[in-house]
Homo-oligomer: A and B are copies of this chain.
Amino acid sequence: MNYKEFKKIYASSSRDIAREVFLENRDSIQIKKEKTAVKNLEKIFNAVFRISYKKGFQAMSMRDLSRETGMSLGSLYAYFSGKEKLLCTIQTHGWSIIKTNLEQISATYENPREKLRAVIKGHIFLSEFFSPWFYFTFMEARNIKPSELETVKSMEEYTQKIVTNILRSGEDQDIFKPDNHELTASMIKAMQQEWYLKRWKYRKLNVSVDQFADHLIDIVEAFCLAQKKLLVEDKSCR
């Protein structure tokens, strides 16, 4: 599967995401009409991402946000009870996007090698598709208050566990070689994060998301596959 095919299957617009957030927070949002609320939520999120990317969420003032969205200060507070709540909503929903999609992808495949490929690629393609959400979720994580922070950290551990488990079950079937799979999973995650944290670099290098994902999989398989399988190139599930 390449990114183009991926997009066809998992297509969902930023409008769709805004609608999800609206339905989840209907009680705390003062706007009744779905159409109005969704339209403005979308505007708000995009503005937050644009400003935060440049100077960070803390440095973004509500007046910045008002200017960028074209909405007044008063209006903004009809959509969120405060700046803190806004941050928290984006964080929570960001993780929910990652979790939901990754679980679905993981459940689709049985064979560990295929599964590993699918999950690695899936994560990268997701981060490409929801780039601002991923970037924001990572970079602004430390700004949320301690009570919510535990939720976020457990999410982080959860997504890593998915990869660890694949490696472990692959080892049981003699497809992957034995090793410290927690550590390997961490490394994989670090390389996946690279894609959305340093996107500007790869645009400059003219590296496509497909190239990046394939390269990462090559590295992982060169290390993880049991030796005897190493020289037998399996192009079938590429």
Contacts and interface: CB of A to CB of B under 8 A. Distances in A.
Contact of A56 (B143, B205, B219, B231): B143
Tell me the number of copies of this protein.
Answer: 2
B191 A142 contact: no
A186 B211 CA distance: 13
Nearest to A177: B222
A92 interface: no
A205 to B, nearest CB: 6
A187 interface: yes
A59 B143 contact: yes
A226 interface: no
A218 interface: yes
Given A56-B58, A59-B143, A216 B187 contact: yes
Nearest to A189: B194
A191 B201 contact: no
Interface of A: 54-56, 58-59, 142-143, 180, 182-184, 186-187, 189-191, 193-194, 198, 201-202, 205, 207, 211-212, 215-216, 218-219, 222-223, 227, 230-231
Top 4 closest pairs, chain A to chain B, by CB: A190-B194, A222-B223, A58-B58, A219-B223
